[in-house]
Amino acid sequence: MWPLRETVRKVARTTANMTALLEDEPEFVFAMSQAQQWAWVKEHRPEVWARVKKAVADGRFVPAGGMWVESDTNMPGSEAMARQFVHGKRFFLEEFGIENDEAWLPDTFGFAAGLPQIIKAAGSKWLLTQKISWSQTNRFPHHTFRWEGIDGTRIFTHFPPVDTYNCSMKGSEIAHAARNFKDKGVARRSLAPTGWGDGGGGTTREMVAKAARLRDLEGSATVVWETPGEFFEKAEAEYPEPPVWVGELYLELHRATLTSQAKTKQGNRRSEHLLREAELWAATAAIRTGFPYPYEDLDRIWKTVLLHQFHDILPGSSIAWVHREARRTYERIAEELTGIIDAAQRALAGEGATPLVFNAAPHTRDGVPAGAARTPATGARTARTDRPGGGHVLDNGLLRVEIDARGLVVSAYDTEADRETIAPGRAANLLQLHPDFPNMWDAWDVDEFYRNTVTDLTDADEVAPDGDGVRIVRSFGASRVTQLLSLAPGERRLVLDTEVDWHETEKFLKLAFPLDVHAERYASETQFGHFHRPTHTNTSWEAAKFEACNHRFVHLEEPGWGVAVVNDSTYGHDVTRTVRTDGDRGTTTTVRVSLLRAPRFPDPETDQGVHRFRHALVPGAGIGDAVREGWRINVPERRISGAQEVAPLVTVDSEAVVVTAVKLADDDSGDVVVRFHEAHGGRARATLTAGFEVAGVTVTDLLERPLPEAPAPRRDGERIAVRLRPFELMTLRLRRA
């Protein structure tokens, strides 16, 4: 509800108040998360910073959480989620010598299933959140438990049964915590986050006084001041074998935050991939040509991107001022990172007229290996013909796509598999418009009853040839949509470029793909892997997930054949199953991508204007194809002219092993850091080959520190053999000879 500059002032006031209160109240302990807040105090208020440092040294003012900000955890990509911990933990280590063992996310809107492994890989082991108590349909069955992520990592987790992250120490609140604690009887300890949030200010003298009265009051739970670390140590010791919850921690609320403020979400996605490219090409150029690796610039830009992943900025639930600033910031970031990428690539290519294609995606593309540059490949053209009855047909020998006179995809035929993708009697590329009047929080929520009313946007102003593709124009309300559907030579992928000039209010726009696939579950990409959700609604838990998050793809399959829908910037989606009523047996599984909303609060102009999206329908896709196509649509080729081809700095010989980062080590040692994971959900053996002479290899945590318990990989010169469990994340530090 305020711009970032006001947050700087709020943090200064809060820290000044809390250091004063600590001097007056000898039992009081104050914890503050988000390294960004601490950095602002250091930068802007050195006199307050001196008092804070003294209180930290005394053990009274506690850095908590070990993240740059309390970020959203659904939408940030793999590397961004890792860097939240890298930059947050490193700040507290460098400033105070404090290692955070806890992740501290009281208000974040649900937790992706890849997060436990990231917490562990950062050297942490505990998680606190309160927000899941806000779920509207199902009450979570535990307050203290172990949370298991997609790779099997388990994190000791606590939800405060006080049911608020703004506890004021009232007797009624403490009594509620004692009554509500689902694990009482086997566990005796819970945590009550105390103080004013939603604007800050911290703990008050009245709260401290109330806590003192509850220190030993007959009939009440005992209240003591402890650091987060002290609480977790004791809670885990008394309850070493709590119940286990497997998979995502889905918040049955605030589902619209996956869609609101599309340009903020696009800015985040684009920035994440530009940072990957900048690190990759700058590292390659530094080793090959002596190009100056931009340590300080990359550090600053990463922190800016991480700041904007705060759980009210990236989710789109801030005032217009915040999102206007975010758009300008993302534009500056894109310009600066593009400059770094261009300079590094030109240093690598040299001066010349040979056309080169740089491929930063983690898979070979058109013969160009990941992280390399080659002369561009050429291919046959896609045939486009008129369709009987109106419309057009695109055919490249692998996929035959029929687009009818309405501009809808009525067939996507996989020639090799002899298999139709689109459900009988249905049409894909169907834009659907819903009224959107959530019961409570406009920008935050979409309620299930929005589905009760829908308008299929089937009227077309124009369906016409456009190069090798088909151009479609539609008008509705005060808005206009222009699409280009294209089928590249040699690719089993229909690309949909969509431009929406959006001028609706309180509407929800979806893009539907009804598929002829019988699947009881589907996969959606999350950090360092993918997570399966049911397509049915057998229970209230499944029914509540009527809007969910994916990163670059969703994937459905029957044994031996599947379909992926990939995207370049959208997150929200829904997947439903319907029984056919036209006499054809079977079910239709419909994937719908959430494009745009138009809430009035807190930004009455949310998403007004022009937006551009790219999606692709990939028939015949296995999970590996979904992973690869998701990367390709997000990391396009770059073409420049130069004198020489560029060999990759690092290669991996397994499609199942995806490299998410190639960079120089943060300590300016010149070591090369490579982070990768198993992406298909099975076990993998792979050989990583360095394009430079390697003197040694170390397995590290996310902060690039050696892991003593991890055996050194087998190495034969520059060839390094690795074995990975399903979705296992690994970071290697390669010392150059």
We report the CATH number of the domain holding residue 492 as 2.70.98.30
CATH code of residue 133: 3.20.110.10
Per residue in 655-682, pLDDT (tens digit) is 999 999 999 999 999 999 999 999 999 9
Write down the catalytic residue from 24, 107, 418, 436.
107
Residues 476 and 547 in one domain: yes
Question: What is the Cα–Cα distance from 665 to 18, expressed in whole angstroms?
Answer: 37
Instruction: Calculate mean pLDDT across residues 488-505.
Output: 96
Residue 580 has a pLDDT of 79
The verdict on 489 and 624 lying in the same domain is yes
- pLDDT range class, residue 585, cuts 50, 70, 90: confident
Q: Is residue 115 assigned to a domain?
A: yes
- The pLDDT of 457-485, averaged and rounded, is 97
Query: 479 and 414, same structural domain?
Result: yes
Res 93 pLDDT > 80: yes
- Whether residues 467 and 606 share a domain: the answer is yes
Determine, yes or no, domain membership for 576: yes
Across 420-434, average pLDDT:
97
**Cα–Cα distances in angstroms (integers) from residue 674 to residues 116, 205, 280, 731, in the given order:** 20, 49, 10, 6
Q: Are residue 163 and residue 135 in the same domain, yes or no?
A: yes
CA atoms within a 13 Å half-sphere pointing along the CA-CB vector of 227: 17
User: Is residue 281 included in any domain, yes or no?
Assistant: no
Last residue within a domain, chosen from 634, 664, 688: 634
pLDDT confidence of residue 378: 63
Q: Which structure tokens are listed for 614?
A: 């790219």
Residue 87 backbone dihedrals phi, psi, to 5 degrees: -75, -35
Residues 620 and 655 in one domain: no
Does 658 fall in a domain? yes
Token reading at 199:
């604007």
Question: Tell me, what's the pLDDT at 561?
Answer: 98
Claim to verify: residue 680 and residue 620 sit in the same structural domain:
no
Question: Does pLDDT of 142 surpass 90?
Answer: yes
Is cis: bond before 602, omega within 30 of 0? yes
What's the pTM value of the predicted model, to 2 decimals?
0.97
- Total domains in the fold of the chain: 3
Q: Residue 401 and residue 413: Cα distance in Å, rounded?
A: 6
* pLDDT at 379 (0 to 100): 61
Asked which of 611, 634, 657 is the last residue of a domain, the reply is: 634
- List pLDDT tens digits, range 343-401: 999 999 999 999 999 999 999 998 999 999 999 876 667 999 999 999 999 999 999 99
Looking up tokens 């991890």, which residue turns up? Answer: 710
Q: Please check whether residues 677 and 539 belong to one and the same domain.
A: no
Q: What is the mean pLDDT of residues 76-98?
A: 98
DSSP string, 124-189: --EEE--GGGG-SS---S-SEEEEE-TTS-EEEEE--TT--SSB---HHHHHHHHHH-TTBTTB--
Kindly state whether residues 715 and 583 are assigned to the same domain: no
Q: Active site includes 107?
A: yes
Confidence of residue 583 (pLDDT cuts 50, 70, 90): low
Question: Phi and psi at residue 160, in whole multiples of 5°?
Answer: -60, 120
**Cα dihedral 241→243→246→250 (10° resolution):** -130
Average pLDDT (408-437) is 97
* Mean pLDDT, all residues of the chain: 96
Q: Given a cut of 70, is residue 465 above it in pLDDT? A: yes
Residue 1 within any structural domain of the chain? no
Neighbouring residues of 522: CB distance < 8 A, sequence distance ≥ 6: 532, 533, 535, 554, 555, 556, 575, 589, 591
Rounded to whole angstroms, the Cα distance separating 677 from 453 reads 42
Residue 544 in any domain: the answer is yes
Residue 4 lies inside a defined structural domain of this protein: no
The residue segments making up the domain with residue 233 are 101-253
Could you tell me if residue 589 is inside a domain? yes
Would you say 396 and 383 are in contact if contact means Cβ atoms under 8 Å apart? yes
Shared domain check, 533 and 471: yes
Do 614 and 652 belong together in one domain?
Answer: no
Q: Which CATH number is 658's domain given?
A: 2.60.40.2220
Tens of pLDDT, residue by residue over 215-269, are 999 999 999 999 999 999 999 999 999 999 999 999 999 999 999 999 999 999 9
Q: What pLDDT is stored for residue 201 in this prediction?
A: 86
Angle subtended by helix axes 46-57 and 35-44, to nearest 10: 130
Q: Per-residue pLDDT tens for 290-299?
A: 999 999 999 9
Please say which residue of 238, 253, 268 terminates a domain. 253
pLDDT digits 0-9 by tens, 630-645: 999 999 999 999 999 9
Strands 244-246 and 144-148: parallel
Mean of the pLDDT values across residues 409-413? 98
If asked whether residues 577 and 654 sit together in one domain, one would say no
